[in-house]
Amino acid sequence: MRRRITASSDLITKVNVTPIIDVALVLVIILLVTAPLLSVADVPVDLPQAQTREAEDERNISITLGTHGELAVDDTRVGTESLTELLRSRLDKEGNNDVLVVVRADSGAPYAAVRDVLEKARAAGAQRLAIATRQKAGDRP
């Protein structure tokens, strides 16, 4: 019995990159979903409601004020005495001169505490200030 030996000219010499691209796109989607959650402190806040919400997609600095006076700048907890210095150092970085400073105050926080945070942000050099709110589920104007 004679065996035939055939030269296999159909060798696969290219790498299939489709699975690599699929995994990379899934990782990018996960990053895009989780990135906004990483820049906010873990101070529990119940935001007040408002008709409009703006400036969500901009690069900003977030100041979080809890019900009992807890403060955080982005993901760093701070005391009231060091808030101005920390904000000034962040605003003095190159390219941050017109950054939006968003105050995320709990709806149960005293108005005086919110006013103090806004005054300290202005004293630190913030040019643009905003107060974060939740979108009302009701009718829009």
Mean pLDDT over residues 36-44, rounded?
68
3-state class (DSSP) for residue 28: helix
- Closest of 120, 129, 112 to residue 55, by C-alpha: 129
Question: 3-state SS of the chain: helix, strand, coil percent to 5?
Answer: 35, 20, 50
Task: Give this prediction's pTM.
Answer: 0.58
Report yes or no on 71 lying in a domain: yes
Report yes or no on 85 lying in a domain: yes
Report yes or no on 15 lying in a domain: no
What is the extent of the structural domain holding 46? 41-135
Mean pLDDT of the chain: 80
- pLDDT surpasses 80 at 43: no
Report yes or no on 16 lying in a domain: no
- Closest of 87, 107, 108, 100 to residue 130, by C-alpha: 100
CATH of the domain at 92: 3.30.420
Distance of CA 101 to the CA centre of its chain: 12
The percentage of the chain sitting over the pLDDT mark of 70, rounded to a whole number, equals 75
Look up residue 75 and give its amino acid: D
Asked whether 48 and 133 are in contact (CB, 8 A), the reply is yes
Query: What's the pLDDT at 55?
Result: 47
Domain count, the chain: 1
Report yes or no on 111 lying in a domain: yes
Report yes or no on 116 lying in a domain: yes
Report yes or no on 122 lying in a domain: yes
